Amino acid sequence: MKKGLEGALQRYKFMALWSGCWSLLLWFVAVPANIFFHNKAWPFVAIAIIHGFTYPLYVLSAFEYSLKARKNLFTTLIYIAAGTLPIASFVAEKKATADFLKR
């Protein structure tokens, strides 16, 4: 059980960091550039596309980790929702790691 849980945690940690970085770029680079340049910031569209493709993978990894760790529904939803705010995925990843180390 711990082996499968450890793998799920590693996948979740990677996706939390990856998705969190792209979320930061989206919120603080692409969106302001789009506003400042009046929808002419087409090079920054790649940030939105990459984040859009990786967020569902983050959701799947958070769901998998929550299932294997036997988290309740509220905690599972918190882990999933953490991917929507720039810093929250980093905080959720640290909490998941701390919970894993307590086992």
pLDDT at 14: 96
Does residue 82 surpass a pLDDT of 90?
A: yes
- What is the mean predicted confidence (pLDDT) over 76-81? 94
For the chain, the structural domain boundaries read: 2-102
Split at pLDDT 50, 70, 90, the class of 4 is confident
3-state SS string for 2-27: HHHHHHHHHHHHHHHHHHHHHHHHHH
- What is the mean predicted confidence (pLDDT) over 66-93? 93
- What is the mean predicted confidence (pLDDT) over 2-8? 86
pLDDT tens, residue by residue, 59-70: 999 999 999 999
Does residue 15 surpass a pLDDT of 60?
A: yes
pLDDT at 102: 87
pTM of the model: 0.87
